[in-house]
Amino acid sequence: MKTQACIIGAGPAGLLLGHLLRAEGIECVVLERKTGDYVLGRIRAGVLEKITVDLMNRLGLDGRMKEEGLPHDGFNLADGDRLIRIDMGDLVGEQVMVYGQTELTRDLMEACDERDLAVIYEAGDVALHDIESDAPYVTYSKDGSDHRIDADMIIGCDGFHGPSRKAIPDTVGKHFERVYPFGWLGILADVPPCNHELIYANHERGFALASMRSATRSRYYIDVPLTDKVENWSDDQVWDELAIRLGPEAAAHITRGPSIEKSIAPLRSYIFAPMRHGRLMLCGDSAHIVPPTGAKGLNLAASDVYYAADALIAFFRKQDNNAIVGYSDRALARVWKSERFSWSLTKLMHRFPEDGAFERAMQVAELDYIANSRAAQISIAENYVGLPV
């Protein structure tokens, strides 16, 4: 098979990019190793920045999001009993949209047929070849046969564990990483949220986050040691811990119920540069990972896709190779700033095992500064809603 763009990975990055290219009449094929149901079964992000909402609007695929999504003007930082509200609407005139990654991916997935975006699911053994030439190709296996796709460009949207980043020679790529000494145990339950806005809490027992998917479906997190296992936590134990860490006001409004999903995700900050080598471009988690504290992971994938689509449309429509060459620097400029914000909010809202009284005093001082400084709140607000693309 020959195509213009071969996209590896049918998560949000791969599907968003595929639709944007097809909308411009650019031929593309998406290769996904799992089934569509498996992809939808992964419970991940919940907060969308403007760039992500705007891309769904540009594609005309934001109908359900407009109906079911929850626009939020603010979120809260809890330090003990004190709740510090970051009023994004007032501070920077922007909102975020609370709409699950699962639902966004579903909207993109369900539009593939009508928009002639070819996605090959259960594509095994995907391998990239000749990315430094102007005739790269991808091989994969499916239903017992081996296949080859010749493409002008390959775009790796295959997440942290995919093959694309690893196709770039070690002599070219640089890795930057911090692994955190804790993970987040997340619980999803069909109960009303305890608050109409998100609450991030830094309690002496640890971090907690109260989030949601709708007025009837809640998403909560607590941080746990890396050695912990989800089977060590009954639903009741999670609800008890959340009630303590979120503080008495929130606890009084927590509705308990059976978990429909419960899992532990490790936390890391990771960047791979460059995000392009030869005819291979990387988007999303294939190139970078952020701790979910800043709600940036999915949204960085969206801004990467925005830049990548720009470059690919210029390349295929105007034979302009400069945009392809400039992609990595343009994407990384926003990635680094979002990595900084995610790292900074993680440092502020979590208790690190190696921290002592001084580090805790710095957290208290920083939260007190934020509580009393509009300038500090504006800085947090403009990062949380998403820096300009």
Provide the minimum distance between the beta carbon of 342 and ligand FAS in the complex, in angstroms, as a whole number: 9
Q: What pairs with residue 141 in β-bridges?
A: 124, 146
Task: List the interface residues with ligand FAS, window 13-52 (CB under 6 A).
Answer: 13-14, 31-34, 39, 44-46
Tell me the CA distances in angstroms from 109 to 29, 106, 116, 117, one per residue in order. Answer: 13, 5, 11, 9
- Catalytic residue of the set 137, 140, 180, 200: 200
Q: Which is nearer to ligand FAS, 13 or 324 (CB)?
A: 13
Dmax (CA) for the chain in angstroms is: 64
The one-letter amino acid code at 126 reads V
DSSP 318-337: H---HHHHHHHHHHHHHHHH
Q: Measuring CA to CA, which residue among 353, 334, 374, 300 is closest to residue 90?
A: 374
Provide the minimum distance between the beta carbon of 317 and ligand PHB in the complex, in angstroms, as a whole number: 37
CB atoms within 10 A of CB 343: 17
**Is residue 118 within 8 Å of residue 4, measured between CB atoms?**
no
Interface with ligand FAS includes 166 (CB under 6 A)? no
The one-letter amino acid code at 362 reads M
Question: From ligand PHB, ligand FAS, none, which one binds at residue 73 (CB under 5 to 8 Å depending on kind)?
Answer: none
Which of these segments, 40-48, 302-310, 321-329, 365-373, binds ligand PHB (CB under 6 A)?
Answer: 40-48
3-state helix, strand, coil in the chain (%, to 5): 40, 30, 30
| Of 6, 7, 8, 138, the one binding ligand FAS by CB under 6 A | 8
Q: Which is nearer to ligand PHB, 166 or 347 (CB)?
A: 347
Provide the minimum distance between the beta carbon of 368 and ligand FAS in the complex, in angstroms, as a whole number: 27
- Catalytic residue of the set 50, 72, 203, 262: 72
Residue ranges in the chain assigned as alpha helix (H): 12-22, 36-41, 50-58, 63-68, 88-92, 101-110, 235-246, 248-251, 297-318, 322-349, 357-372, 374-384
Interface with ligand FAS includes 209 (CB under 6 A)? no
Query: Which strand (E) or helix (H) includes residue 268?
Result: strand 259-273
- Catalytic residue of the set 12, 296, 327, 350: 296
Provide the minimum distance between the beta carbon of 345 and ligand PHB in the complex, in angstroms, as a whole number: 8
Task: List the interface residues with ligand PHB, window 289-308 (CB under 6 A).
Answer: 292-293, 295
Q: Known catalytic residue: 200?
A: yes
Q: Which is nearer to ligand FAS, 227 or 319 (CB)?
A: 227
Task: List the interface residues with ligand PHB, window 183-212 (CB under 6 A).
Answer: 198, 211
Residue with tokens 């992964």: 42
Binding site for ligand FAS (CB under 6 A): 8-14, 31-34, 39, 44-46, 101, 123, 126, 157-159, 161-163, 265, 284-285, 292, 295-298, 301
Catalytic residue numbers read 72, 200, 292, 296, 384
Binding site for ligand PHB (CB under 6 A): 45-47, 198, 211, 219, 292-293, 295
